[in-house]
Amino acid sequence: MPGNTLPGTSFSTITEALTALTDSSCLSCEKQFPAPVSDLPPVIVHIGEGIYREKLIITRPNVTFEGAGADKTILVYGDAAFDLMPEGDKRGTFRTASVRIDTHDFTAKHLTFQNDSGFGHTVGQALAVYVDGDRNAFYDCRFLGSQDTVFDAPLPLKEAQPGGFKGPGEFKPRTIGRHYYENCFIQGDVDFIFGSGIAWFEHCTIYSKLPGDRVPPESPEDEVIYGYVTAASTPMEEPYGYVFHECSLESDCPPHSIYLGRPWREWAKTVFLHCELGAHIHPVGWQDWKKPHGHFYYGEYASYGPGASPATRADFSHQLTDAEAAEYTVKHVMKGWEPQSLM
């Protein structure tokens, strides 16, 4: 059970704890960058061992969720994009999140975020977490899902088709938030880390799960492609998008069946530094999703393992020089924000 949100206070559900914490002065709607620091005092919500089937929305800044262990405290829900809503339309991607973080300075430790609705081809996109706001950090957490597990917000400025952004962020100003993931386990298959945020992944395990319901329709006729690790939509003016540092990319998929990334929008930026790549990574590494070359930026530095193959990588990708790689520090990428490291 969650407890110790306030001295002497305990609750039977996480929803009750969040309701008690709601404050009219919260900053979730102040979309400035960098986000202002709230005057509200930091609060820790201790969440005990158990499975919490609740659809959660966090809007108060300076909140920490602390679980009993990544495999012991599980926050889970099962909404999916193909679900029919009462008005007759489909739920869509951005109304599926099991947990939506719509605030600044949120921290999570030692717990799991999960969407258990099913495989993407069957149920559609299904977010385990929707991370919006600035200076949000995750330590020793698991993110479990299939297609679109982690939405690292905000949304791109324009939708690809009418109604594509239906959900909580559709009409909001965009905050290009900074997000930090350390010692986390992130599982999915198609585009399972995606969005327009600036994110640093430190010592994380990125697991491409074999989808149990299909060969994705994106597969060309001459090969079988089971998924893509990233689908960034970095804004044109931002020099950095997703950075993976000393991460391990693992999978139960066949060899050469997973791409490192493809650009959800044309200015996508994703770089892997000192990462171990499994045999599931395609020798070409990257897919252009029919976006113009010279806009998006995909790079690697000192990749190793059976999936590391610099000689065969897509000609639009980059093998960073020592000098280029040296520019990728947490402080530099995060524009002065240095989240605490627990390692």
SS3 155: coil
The tokens for 223 are 């090969």
Question: Are the C-beta atoms of residues 112 and 144 closer than 8 Å to each other?
Answer: yes
Question: Are the C-beta atoms of residues 183 and 204 closer than 8 Å to each other?
Answer: yes
DSSP 269-307: EEEEES-EE-TTB-TT-B--TTPPTTTSEEEEES-BSTT
Distance of CA 90 to CAs 80, 99, 118, Å? Answer: 9, 19, 16
Question: Per the residue annotation, which of 132, 148, 189, 191 is the catalytic one?
Answer: 191
Show Cβ contacts of residue 116 under 8 Å, excluding neighbours closer than 6 positions.
76, 77, 78, 144
Whether 213 is catalytic is no
Distance of CA 190 to CAs 145, 212, 316, 320, Å? Answer: 10, 12, 21, 26
Any idea which residues carry the catalytic annotation?
191
